[in-house]
Amino acid sequence: MVRKIEHIGIAVRDLEAANELYESLLGVKPYKEEAVESEGVVTSFFLTGESKVELLEATTADSPIAKFIEKRGEGIHHIAFEVEDIYEEIKRLKAAGFRILNEEPKKGADNKLVCFVHPKSANGVLVELCQEAVSS
């Protein structure tokens, strides 16, 4: 079951500059910055009510964010939905014919288990499913 839009991911060229811009746009400071080495990105998060805005800057040339910006420029990169049980959702979406990019959920930013649905399966939108990771 989907609970809410957890965050919207925005690809940016320069995280420091984008942080300043979004701080004046939203009137709040980012509450955290975090590098996700496996994805080749550094991220920052802004709380906007019950959802968040995630800014992503590439740290390597072959990062998915670098490739995205090269092709399409800066802008909305993905929409993340919080789900109750990510394993169940992956099973359900696979059975419904969606193309899942990683069938085994991986650790994303902000202490989340994440999985991505291919944009070709979702009207051109990269969809992220996420679930709060249980800290052991």
Cα 12–Cα 90–Cα 125 angle in degrees, nearest 5: 35
Closest-approach residue to Zn ion (CB): 9
Q: How far is the CB of 7 from Zn ion (least distance, A)?
A: 6
> Interface with Zn ion includes 90 (CB under 5 A)?
no
Give the footprint of Zn ion on residues 24-53 (CB under 5 A): none
> CB of 69: closest distance to Zn ion in angstroms?
16
Check residue 55 for interaction with Zn ion (CB under 5 A): no
Task: Rank residues 54 and 57 by Cβ distance to Zn ion and give the closer one.
Answer: 54
9 binds Zn ion (CB under 5 A): yes
Contact 41, 59 (CB under 8 A): yes
Sheet of 51-58, strands arranged across = 32-36, 41-48, 51-58, 2-11, 75-83, 127-132, 112-117, 106-108
Choose which of 41, 42, 53, 80 interacts with Zn ion (CB under 5 A): 80
Tokens linked to 69: 């910006």
Ramachandran sector of residue 29 (left: φ over 0; alpha: ψ -120 to 50; beta: rest): beta
Which residues lie near Zn ion (CB under 5 A)?
A: 9, 54, 80, 128
